[in-house]
Amino acid sequence: MRYLVVSDIHGKLLEKLNPIVDDGIDSLICLGDFDQVRSIRSFMDLQARLEQDGKQVIVVPGNHDYEIYKRGKIKSPELKKQRKTSLQLHKELFRDELASNYIRDLLDRPHHYQDLLLGGDYSTIIVHGGLRGSLISYLSCPKKAKDLWYRLEKDYYHRTNFKAMEEKGYNIMIRGHDHMKSCVSFSDGKVKPIRERPVTLEPGKLYTINPGSWFNRNYLVIDCSDEQPVVEFRKV
């Protein structure tokens, strides 16, 4: 089983993933933050191709998806680079019924995370983001917990999330939001960023994995052909 993971689309098209999907990908995981209608439509085409071949597609919404749909205000470097405001994107979204319905259906789900048994043995949670030991993507961040939408950069934040993963029986968290290609392990009470590439996941350790942003042309492939999954970070 080979998984393609992409996150934080932020207005980019996804056609360049077509040859990668055709090269033996069994499952597509998308971690949200589409922003523009053209990105949503591009992803919908990719999803349809996979599902037509009977392949698995897992999608979770991001905080941008929520705020744009709900006409919220976002101050984001990615919006500035797109030369768009969240209000402009909201109006654009609701001029396209298919795209707006797609985001509505993502947001209407009872949970904004997905569970996956990666490689048959690794219990995995798939989310857009969350801190302070929260394994749930708060798409509208509570005012009393503003840092739930900060980046997962510091050891302290990793440690609180790993503790929550341990309590809930997860071995792996696949997450977006941070825009950083990263794999961080946790064992014997120690948080360790893994610099080697590719990364072979070891039994008995916990991991957070982030593909980086598709906005910056980053994605990853997780190959579960052998007993230990291998994470390969890529860029187009």
Which tens digits make up the pLDDT trace of 155-170?
A: 778 888 899 999 999 9
Over the range 21-59, which residues count as b (16 or more CB within 10 Å of their CB) and which as e? beeebbbbbbbbbbbbbbbbbbbbebbebbeeeeeebbb
Q: Which of 221, 224, 172 is nearest to 197 (CA)?
A: 221
Q: Which of 233, 208, 212, 209 is nearest to 158 (CA)?
A: 208
pLDDT at 13 over 90: yes
What pLDDT score was predicted for residue 129?
86
SS3 category, 125: strand
Q: Are 202 and 168 in contact (CB under 8 A)?
A: no
Task: Order the strands of the 230-235 sheet from edge to edge.
Answer: 56-59, 27-30, 2-6, 218-223, 230-235, 199-200
CB atoms within 10 A of CB 233: 19
Backbone angles phi, psi at 5, to 5 degrees: -120, 130
Number of domains in the chain: 1
pLDDT band at 133 (very low <50, low <70, confident <90, very high): low
CATH of the domain at 12: 3.60.21.10
58-93, pLDDT tens digit by residue?
A: 999 999 999 999 998 887 888 999 999 999 999 999
pLDDT at 151 over 90: no
What pLDDT score was predicted for residue 144?
59
**Residue range(s) defining the domain that contains residue 26:** 2-235
Q: Are 215 and 7 in contact (CB under 8 A)?
A: no
| Alpha helices in the chain, H assignment, sequence order | 18-22, 37-52, 63-69, 77-82, 86-93, 97-107, 155-168
Over the range 158-178, which residues count as b (16 or more CB within 10 Å of their CB) and which as e? bebbbebbeeeebbbbbbbbb
pLDDT at 137 over 90: no
User: Average per-residue pLDDT in the chain?
Assistant: 91
